[in-house]
Structure 1
Amino acid sequence: MTIRFDGQVAIVTGAGGGLGREHALALAARGAKVVVNDLGGARDGSGGSATAAEAVVAEIEAAGGEAMANAASVTDAAAVEAMVAEVMARWGRIDILVNNAGILRDKSFAKMELADFRLVMDVHLMGAVHCTKAVWDIMRAQNYGRIVMTTSSSGLFGNFGQANYGAAKMALVGLMQTLAIEGAKNDIRVNALAPTAHTRMTEDLQGLPLEALGPELVTPGLLYLVSRDAPTRAILAAGAGGFERAYVTLTQGDFAVGPDAPEQVAARFDAISDRENEIVPDMGAAQGMIELTKAQKHHKL
């Protein structure tokens, strides 16, 4: 069945270029009314202009779609709330939120200023929080919502020079995990997308086959994650036409108590790390249950 968004309203942040632009164009092409949000700043977050968002709106309208531009900074909770109020006044509902806005302030941790760490966290993490909070009650009242957090392999697996970016991107996974649980009863499905694409955010990287890393090759994954039949609590990696799932897993581990417990942990670390029968927990309490089961077995011996 073809994925369509007729009658639905989508907000895409950071949609003035790169991945966000592709997401916005694709959603509009498949019937969604799209809010193109973009501060219009440089990739380090400086400056700002509505021009980029307006240009994408013009593209959507030229293709017969419906869209509106918004230049609110996702770091400004009041401006985000005003954007959402404007959308509700115009279209009366919000079905999809794509938290895509982001900046880079790359440096090794030794050389990184704390201000650069805070700003990256503010844009990526708190920006997503502000936008999600602003639409959450609307989606709860509708008993429908689809939200995507844009994470990154830098957060999932690490990357030199991106302690701030990686921390923010992994934090978004934690946000997604809990919101997916809390939103389930109202059919609010929350997922994370980890893209690999050539945009201005990656223009300094060397050795990549950039012609194979177009952002348009990531967007099909995004469209599925915000569709009616979307999963929830999924981390979908995407790039160059390839799609993979990433998981936060838990091993079965081992048990160690007593005065020499530290030495037992050291001696059994391979067993603790053994990935056979590892699980993807339904929620954080699963860790405690596994640990308590070990303790019960020990004390019954």
Structure 2
Amino acid sequence: MTIRYDGKVAIVTGAGQGLGRCHALELAARGARVVINDLGGAADGTGGSSEAALAVVAEIEAAGGEAIANGANVAKYDEVEAMVKQTMDQWGRVDILVNNAGILRDKSFAKGSLDDFKMVLDVHLMGSINCIKACWDIMRAQEYGRIVVTTSSSGLYGNFGQTNYGAAKMGVVGAMNTLVQEGAKYNIKVNALAPTAATRMTEGLMPQEALDLLVPEKVTPAVLYLVSEDAPTRTILCAGAGGYSVTRMIETEGIYLPEGEQTPEAIAANWDAITDPSGEKALQAGGEQGFKFVAKAAQALGIGAE
């Protein structure tokens, strides 16, 4: 069955080029009306121009689709609010939000400035939060919403010189985990994309042969699935070069240490048992961890036993 978005309205941030442009073009090709948000700045976040966003709008319109351009800086909530108002005035709803806008200020932690760190967080983390906040009540009221945040292997696993970027990219996963719970009864699904693609943000980091395989067009199908009506929720979907996988956060079953043995020395002595992967699970909510530990303690202490 073909996945389509007829009657749906999508906002894609950072959609002037690269991944965002590709996401927007494909959403429009499958029936969505799309807001092309792009500040039009350089890869480091400086400058601004509406040229790129307008060019994508022209592409979509030339193909028979509907799109409007918006130059909001996602790090500024008042500009994001105005973007969402423009969308509502134009089309009366917001069904899909793809948080793709990003910048890079790569430097080792020792050499990087706190100002650069904060700016990367402002764009990637707060930029996503600002856009979600501006759309949240609309999606709740219409009882429909599909939201994608863009994470990264740099956040999930680390990458030298990207402490700022990695922190922001794990931050959006943390936000996703709770938004999924709060949005569930309103049919709002929230997922994360972990893309590997050749864009201006990855130029010079890989040989050309690899970059030729890592085109944005091979990532976009993952986004299209994550914002579809039958999408999963709370999923980190990784995509690149035609490969697709899922990242999960796993917790080991762990052990209970008796009173008198709850010491760092006992943790060291029992490290193999604590880290034993057998029985490990992907927990679905923070409270599950607490319940697990309390249950282990209660069992060991005979609390609640008849």
> If the length of structure 1 is used for normalisation, what is the TM-score?
0.98
Which structure 1 segments of 5+ residues have no match? none
Q: Does the residue aligned with 2:201 lie in a helix, a strand or coil?
A: helix
CA displacement at 1:114 relative to structure 2: 0.3
User: 1:89-238 counterparts in 2 under 5 A?
Assistant: 89-207=89-207, 209-238=210-239
Any idea what the Cα deviations from partners look like across 1:206-248, whole Å, max 9, x if unmatched?
3361111001100001000000000000000000010000001
How far 1:129 moved relative to its partner? 0.5
Structure 1 partner of 2:280: 278
d(CA) in 1 for partners of 2:158, 2:124: 16
- Match of 1:69, SS state, is strand
How far off its partner does 1:269 sit? Answer: 1.2
Query: Which residue is equivalent to 1:262?
Result: 264
Taking structure 2 as the reference length, the TM-score comes to 0.97
Displacement after TM superposition at 1:258 (Å): 2.0
1:44-55 alignment runs, 5 A limit: 44-55=44-55
1:260/1:185 Cα in 2 relative to 1: closer, same or farther (>3 Å)? closer
The reply on whether 1:3 has 2:3 as its aligned counterpart is yes
| Alpha-carbon offset, residue 293 of structure 1 | 1.1
Query: Number of aligned pairs?
Result: 301
Aligned residue type for 1:232: T
Query: What is the aligned-residue RMSD (CA, Å)?
Result: 1.0
Segments ≥4 residues shifted beyond 4 Å: none
Match of 2:244 in 1: 243
Residue number in structure 2 paired with 1:58:
58
**Counterparts of 1:259 and 1:194 in 2: how far apart (Å)?**
41
Distance, in Å, in 1 between the alignment partners of 2:300 and 2:50 is: 63
Q: What is the distance in 2 between the residues matched to 1:59 and 1:33?
A: 13
Letter of the 1:221 partner, please give it: A
Cα distance in 2 for partners of 1:93, 1:112 equals: 41
**Equivalent runs, 1:6-85 vs 2, <5 Å:** 6-85=6-85
Residue by residue over 1:110-136, the C-alpha shift from the partner in whole angstroms, topping out at 9 and shown as x without a partner, is: 111000100000000000000000000
Provide closer, same or farther for how the CA distance between residues 68 and 108 of structure 1 changes in structure 2, counting only shifts above 3 A. same
Q: Which residue of 2 aligns with 1:292?
A: 294
Deviation of 1:282 (Å): 1.6
Deviations 1:260-289 (A, max 9, x none): 621111111121111111111120001101
Matched position secondary structure for 1:297: helix
- The superposition leaves residues 53-86 of structure 1 with CA deviations (integer Å, 9 ceiling, x where unpaired) of 0011011111111000000000110010011011
In structure 2, distance between residues paired with 1:73 and 1:8 = 24
Instruction: Give, as a single letter, the amino acid of the residue that structure 2 aligns with 1:199.
Output: T
Q: In structure 2, do the counterparts of structure 1 residues 294 and 241 end up closer, same or farther at CA, with 3 Å as the change threshold?
A: same
Amino acid at match of 1:293: A
SS of equivalent residue, structure 1 residue 220? helix
Deviation at 1:25, TM superposition (A): 0.2
Q: Which amino acid aligns with 1:15?
A: A
Please report how far the alpha carbon of residue 39 of structure 1 lies from its aligned counterpart in structure 2 after TM superposition.
Answer: 0.1
Q: Percent identity?
A: 64
**Rounded Cα–Cα distance in structure 1 between residues aligned with 2:167 and 2:225:** 26
Structure 2 Cα separation of the partners of residues 48 and 8 of structure 1: 29
**Cα displacement (A) at 1:259:** 5.6
Secondary structure of 1:201 counterpart? coil
* C-alpha distance in 2 between matches for 1:292 and 1:160: 38
Per the alignment, in what secondary structure is the counterpart of residue 135 of structure 2?
Answer: helix
How many angstroms apart in 2 are the aligned matches of 1:275 and 1:29? 45
1:283 corresponds to which letter in structure 2? Answer: A
Which residue identity is paired with 1:81? E
Change (3 A) 1:260 1:127: closer
1:189 and 1:246 mapped to 2: Cα distance?
A: 17
